[in-house]
Amino acid sequence: MAKGRDSGMPPIEQWETFFQADAILEALGCDRLSGDVAEFGCGYGTFTIAAARRIPGLVYAVDIDPLMVNATNTRASRAGLRNIVVEQRDFVSDGCGRPGDSISYAMLFNILHIENPVSLLREARRIVRVGGIVSVIHWRHDIETPRGPPLKIRPRSTQCRAWAEEAGLQWLMSPELPGSPWHWGMTFKRPE
């Protein structure tokens, strides 16, 4: 298994300062759904934990890095959350392992700088039910950020929107992300 380009993670203490996960998920509509969630590249579980606290269903979190899988499992256990399933998986090469049309909400956060983003967006579309949501956030391209992939591979929001539409998703909104000045976000739905 090979990680996507520039996919290293800083220490968790630093990582957690970049996001207000609950506020971001609310802005992206994660609090207005029922059903299950899938997260592509869960990292330390920052958004996994926040999503699991908001939804009645399961959160399926996948990451290629065994250290991130262990970190997310440990955090879920410490939080007493039993609705999280974490799996080590090369979802770029092998898919996320979820059946088609089985998820209400998919999260692709800080990951679309990979070599083939359209393929990953197609995988998200495949697993999301008709009317389901795919949300994307990424590091901004227009300002200095304390972290993030190099600018030459960092996607712009307009690129991500075009990729998502190419993958068969319909743009819904691009809300401001509370407490995260270094990121942009947008949501898409799987049309009928």
Task: Summarize pLDDT for 91-138 with one digit per residue, the tens.
Answer: 999 999 999 999 999 999 999 999 999 999 999 999 999 999 999 999
Would you list the DSSP string of 116-176?
Answer: -HHHHHHHHHHHEEEEEEEEEEEE-SSS--SS-S-TTTPPPHHHHHHHHHHTT-EEEE---
With a CB cutoff of 8 Å and minimum separation 6, the contacts of 94 are none
Confidence of residue 30 (pLDDT cuts 50, 70, 90): confident
Q: Which pair of structure tokens corresponds to residue 119?
A: 């393929």
pLDDT, the chain, mean: 91
Cα–Cα distance for residue pair 99/104, rounded to 1 Å: 12
Q: Looking at the predicted structure, is the pLDDT value of residue 15 above 70?
A: no
- pLDDT-derived band at 1, boundaries 50, 70, 90: very low
Give the pLDDT band (50/70/90) at residue 53.
Answer: very high
Tokens coding 167:
């993958």
**CB of 100 within 8 A of CB of 71?**
no
Q: For domain 13-189, give the fold.
A: Rossmann fold (3.40.50)
Report pTM. Answer: 0.91
Checking if the pLDDT of 25 tops 90, the result is yes
Reading the block at residue 79, the tokens are: 């939080």
Taking the C-alpha atoms of residue 142 and residue 148, their distance in angstroms, rounded to an integer, is 12
Q: Measuring CA to CA, how many Å separate 147 from each of 35, 51, 111, 168, 180?
A: 33, 23, 13, 30, 12
End-to-end CA distance of the chain: 34
Instruction: Provide the residue ranges of all domains of the chain, joining segments of one domain with +.
Output: 13-189
**Hey, is 39 helix, strand or coil?**
strand
The DSSP string of 64-128 is S-HHHHHHHHHHHHHTT--SEEEEE--HHHH--SPPTT-EEEEEEES-TTSS-HHHHHHHHHHHE
For residue 77, the model assigns a pLDDT of 96
When pLDDT is cut at 50, 70 and 90, the band that residue 5 belongs to is: very low
CB 83 within 8 A of CB 59: yes
Q: What is the pLDDT, as a whole number, of residue 9? A: 67
- Beta-bridged to residue 188, according to DSSP, are 134, 171
